[in-house]
Chain A
Amino acid sequence: MQQRSLFARQPSVLIFISLLAVFTIVITVLSEGFGLGLVSTSFIKILGKTLCLCLIAIAMDLVWGYCGILSLGHFAFFGLGGYMIGMWLMYERTKDIVITSLAGAELPATAEEIREGIGTQIFGVVGGAEIPLVWYFADSLFAQLALVVLVPGLLALVFGWLAFRSRVTGVYLSILTQAMTLALSLYLFQNDSGLRGNNGLSGLQNIPGLTHLPQSVVSVWFFLASAFALGAGYLLAAWVVSGKFGNVIRAIRDDETRIRFMGYPVEAYKLVVFTLTAVIAAIAGALYYPQAGIINPAEIAPIASIYLAVWVAIGGRGRLYGAVIGAATVSLLSSWFTGGQAPSIPLGFYTINWVDWWQVLLGLGFVLVTLFMPKGIGGLFDRLVRKDAA
């Protein structure tokens, strides 16, 4: 009953899932790792990363488009997810290297020597050698996977509880979330944070235990995993917004005071949405950074989260597929324009190099979309669908 009503209320879910499946299969077949070799590994990686960005855009849409909380901090959760998985990837890979190199020594290595070797390898470049306490669980994949969910989830829970409890709303909340992101990124920028400061964690594309596989294969695996996560995230989000819960959070977005007077615990609802989306963002980040290869505090800088909001706005908020469209369009365009492949336009007196003008175009694009397409690109689809139906 519930299932039927979900698809009935959200017809886009079925379309989206099937499209995603078709897209994934086609790309896999065309990939270098598993098929015809028509799509390059570097493009697979870009697509895989884009899918992760679509997933966090869905989270953003849920928290902003449906619940009305303009969070400018969701990239912090995304980054934390990346850091948590990155610690395991880096630790285990380094451990393999250290064990291999110590195997040739005259005396068999002690556990302390291995730890010391790992410490020097990982932290040597940032002027240290000790393995900090935050890496305590780094040798266990299971623990780090749990932390991917737990650390950002807890942070969101505590932060959300503090903020919602004191009734910080609207623009104030946006600035507060932005401050949180800034504080986190500044904290991670410090060398003493134990996460390699500005350098961050790198070499994440080499998966420990799978180093014999070429990147063309690994990239397809991650692409598939990202597609699966996006599909699952979409389903979850659609389920959340289609039920009674969805109605309440939409009502909170439209008139918070009224809902509070009707007796709903507004703060609890908001806290649930905030934390849930933080966890989705963290999972997206944990899938994203092994494909990007490096995570560092600059990724968490406040501007990233603003971009996220802009993607959702461009795609059309309050529609899950809108978020996906927005994130995919902007990030793919961005990658194309900065890649040097876009042809320059000579105007005689001046040549437009897209590398120089792409940011201007992007910025003005935001302005135009907000001014003239308040419902975003997704809004166009709505109009077309209506005409179709009529």
Chain B
Amino acid sequence: MLRFAYLLIAAMVCLAPAHAQEGGLNALLETHRAKIEKPSRTTISPVLEELVDSQLPSVAVFLEQWREKGVWQRKSDGRFFFVKKTDNGQLMLIDADTGAEAGLADQSELTNLNPNSGVRAVIAAALVQFQLSDPDPARRLQALTALARDANQSHLSILQESVEEEIDPHIKARKERLLRLLEIKFGSDQATRVAAIESFAGDPGVDARAALNPLVATSVKVFDAQPEGVNVARTLTPGSDIEPGVAYQLLVDAGKARPIVPLAERKRALIANIKDGAVAGIPVAELASQEARDRAYLALAASGAVPALVSRDEQRSAVASQVFAEVYSEPDPALTTAARETLSDISGTVGFYRFVSLALDGLSLASIYFLAAIGLAITFGVMGVINMAHGEFIMIGAYTGYVVQQFIPNYTVSILVALPLAFAVAFMAGVALERLVIRHLAHRPLETLLATFGVSIALQQIAKNIFGTQARPLTSPSWLDGAWALNDVVSVSYIRIAIFVLAVVFMGLLLFILKRTRLGLEIRAVTQNPRMASSMGINPDRINMMTFGLGSGIAGIAGVAIGLFAKVTSELGSGYIVQSFMTVVVGGVGNIWGTLAGAGMIGSLQKVIEFFNPSNTLAAQTYMIIFIIIFIQFRPKGIIALKGRAAGD
């Protein structure tokens, strides 16, 4: 009975929307049920306007719930509710208008409203007026985010009012900035707008540029004489500023010149005019060249059967008789001038920060290469052997991290466990490889390359057989989520920073081991002259084994790091192996500083080339390798050449 009454009211609401509030929220929703069930960004605005205009107190809550996908619809009668989970798995329905409980229902009796993100943005914009002065700072921030995405004229005054009341200094600053942005877009007073524009000088924020750039947007227009009454950016000289062909096409589009007959159309015309196996007296068989076709077309044109071609001279004179100019779509020159000057000032700042960002990217890439290559550099330097299975030690480290996460669900703890464990596992794998294979090939370095290659493909396939071919997740702890952002141009993700720190730590650790410990002394001795070292009582076999284990262990650590920011698959290591070799060779063998220099050079070089050719990353890699090949011509022993055994061969 009550429902009937609601329906009745709803019907009245349709007739008299001004009195909508009388029927309550549910009736209003009922009116727009179809549009709320299947909302679209383009059709939902009137519904939202009506909801907001009704000034019902429950509208804000409803909109918020709707945006957060908290609104459910009962299948039987199409009514909308909020829900609350109960202990027995059923859902408690809550009336959207009154907030009262409205009975239990099974999940199967309900459908969850799932507005897409376009609709959610529109809802968020409608919510702004409710949230902007909300006591909860989180809501106010939400409103600001929504405003930054999608604002309109009406928001300007609301924002202006709320700025004055704002107490939180951080939010106040954001509001003020947003206000200036809105003033640029929607302000009515020229002086305020110019002031707002100029206040952004040197500001690298994307939002500032996003507000300013539309002001200086131009389009090319054609005028009979010098343009007047429009805001001209510059006049264009055909031939130097604008292609004559493009200019002529503009004339055609403006209806000021005859269209050029395109090739395909001319061909169609020829076909249409075939008579008795000939076109304009020229036999079809002879039309096998463009020249012959042109002749036939001209003959047809002369007879008036087809439109005549536009000659070059005609085009040129037509273009010359007109004035072409870039015209701002914004009519006020004061604004465009201010915007242009501010933008050129911003572009200087942005250029600087872009350089900083590039340098940081290069540094980050270099630290990854360094971690991946340093283990290789040590073994290569001390033992003179190439370990093709190095990449697989990286992979082993990454999989160790994955396995640890299966047992320790806390990501922070698991990473802390995984790092030493990865080192240990890879260390043991390295020692095993050294004892079983490499030791027996001590005097045949090139054959070590082949044997370790065999180990590499066997390990890869074994990993596939154990872990499957799918990529495995290695998730970083949540405090490594996100990025450190200086501004909209410079930002580095925390994972990359962590990898950088890891690289620095390991470099320090290695330097310490090599320069300050007994083991390091012995390693350096073996590196420089193994025979002399062994005659001084150093056991080179033991040193080789320890070195190999150390190098492999660091590869294991690198595996965890790489797994955190990329992927864990059985092919993870092979992607880094060639790069690692090049890092070692470019830097110079057997020297930590050399590897550092090599990684730094390769990392920054790759980024610089990418910078010049942003649409093709592959090309960047190719050019980098070619550069390395040429570089090695001049410094065959790398940037920092070593004396001793490695230098001997």
Contact = CB atoms under 8 A, between A and B. Distances in A.
A176 interface: yes
A70 to B, nearest CB: 5
A370 B460 CA distance: 19
A162 B459 contact: no
Interface string B438-457: 00110011110111011111
Nearest to B627: A183
A363 B461 contact: yes
B437 interface: yes
B289 A169 contact: no
Interface residues of A, number: 52
Interface stretch (B306-314, B414-422, B492-500, B631-639): B631-639
Interface stretch (B14-22, B108-116, B322-330, B578-586): B578-586
A112 B446 contact: no
Nearest to A366: B454
Given A106-B284, A171-B386, A367 B581 contact: no
A6 interface: no
Given A110-B288, A110-B289, A179 B454 contact: no
B412 to A, nearest CB: 36
Contacts of A358: 461
A167 B386 contact: no
Contacts of A192: 616, 619
B582 A175 contact: yes
A109 B449 contact: no
Contact of A306 (B453, B619, B629): B453
Interface string A346-365: 00000000001111101111
A36 interface: no
Interface string B611-632: 0000010110110011011101
A225 B79 CA distance: 79
B2 interface: no
A367 B454 contact: yes
Contacts of A366: 450-451, 453-454, 457
Interface in A54-107: 70, 106-107
A240 B453 CA distance: 30
A302 interface: yes
B445 A168 contact: no
Contact of B454 (A111, A167, A362, A374): A362
A343 B58 CA distance: 71
A171 B445 contact: yes
Nearest to B453: A306
Interface string A110-123: 11100000000000
Interface residues of B, number: 57
Contacts of A357: 461, 465
B449 A174 contact: yes
B450 A363 contact: no
Given A179-B629, A190-B619, A359-B460, A108 B450 contact: no
A107 B450 contact: no
B581 A175 contact: yes
A370 B444 CA distance: 10
B629 A187 contact: no
B293 interface: yes
A174 B446 contact: yes
A180 B629 CA distance: 7
A53 interface: no
A106 B574 CA distance: 56
A370 B451 contact: yes
30 contacts: A70-B449, A109-B288, A110-B287, A165-B633, A170-B445, A172-B632, A175-B386, A176-B585, A178-B581, A179-B581, A186-B618, A186-B621, A186-B625, A187-B618, A187-B619, A189-B618, A190-B618, A190-B622, A302-B578, A356-B461, A357-B461, A360-B458, A360-B461, A360-B465, A362-B454, A363-B455, A363-B459, A364-B454, A366-B453, A366-B454
Interface of B: 267, 270-271, 274, 284-285, 287-290, 293, 380, 384, 386, 388, 437, 440-441, 444-447, 449-451, 453-462, 464-465, 574, 578, 581-582, 585, 616, 618-619, 621-622, 625-626, 628-630, 632-634, 636, 649
A-B interface, 3 closest residue pairs, ranked by CB to CB distance from nearest: A366-B454, A363-B458, A359-B461
Given A171-B446, A371-B440, 5 more contacts: A107-B288, A107-B293, A170-B445, A182-B625, A186-B625
